[in-house]
Structure 1
């Protein structure tokens, strides 16, 4: 472990307490510093030495500026890599050894932040049962799939649909996609898409959704 650098302001506090007659152990406990630190300040006071830290005092950086730039380069090649993976790649191509925490500190000092990938919720047993039933009920379908209108929405506020080889319009919306907003999007886009995609006598089309909250809300069902 490298030497801990004590701030000059902390040393001034130690000096003040020493001059007021407090013991070194008491000062160390009160200011959360080592007894060695308090002892060193006391010795400097006896010898009339300045309390400032010496130039170059403390632990040296494990990497140079050029090595930090190389670390930045390999991070940008794949931003999904963890700090452990970046450290392993850096160590394999360099004689020095870096730990993951050092990698994180270097990247944070260069203005980057770390993120944890958001985990999607797993399917519930009921959802698994419903999907299996749907698959078994429709496993013999062939041409029937041409009459299904598939839809989905994206997190960048747009909804689209398709059926067979036909693609529907991409409809944008603002804010949260709740029941009323979802119905409004469907009313704007679906009738024209159905008219342009299916022949007039064909009333066998079906609209498919993915059971998202907006799709099964009470407002949508009504």
Structure 2
């Protein structure tokens, strides 16, 4: 560790105390400087030399200005992080949960964590979803040169109003996917009943015995009355519809391609999801 430089202000204070008749020890105890420093200041005053520190005093820097520019380069940092296993990922979308939301999730998880798969087989999971022809919220990435910023492939088309949209309601159980209904307009209480009534009751009569019990589960949308966690099926495809009719046909096609095993695996995973929810105390940091 190098010696601490004495400022010009401190040197003037030393000189003032010397002129006041204080001893070296008294000045050292007062200002925290060494006897050698006090002696040098006294000599400079006797020889009428300036008290300022000469330029380039002290230990020389071990690096040159060119070396300093290469100490931290963003490209090198990225490369080292990548080699260490740190890759670039997009952030996950999770609902914002206030403390009372986390408490409710934790209570629900503790209440149903002991259910077996046979009990979860009697649960009908439902949800609504909204799809737009053009203005989808998925992110697109391109790899290009800096000079290609205005090339056609670098743009994602957007139209006012989304170019048409489709809203759907559907259900699934451990037996597979259930009915799928398209609806128009904003989903509210009366509209919700009109959508599910002709679809849900016939499905229940067909798939559940009259003597068996079943549970219909919804999320916490305002038009619903009961909250429960749910899972969305996300399909990956390259075909992009350009009209509402094509979007409806694509949704129906993807729905029929969901195997029963996928639904069963989702239902079987509920116990693990509840255990995870209990472990994180109803908070968000989990893969579910």
TM-score under structure 1 normalisation? 0.43
Greater C-alpha radius of gyration: 2
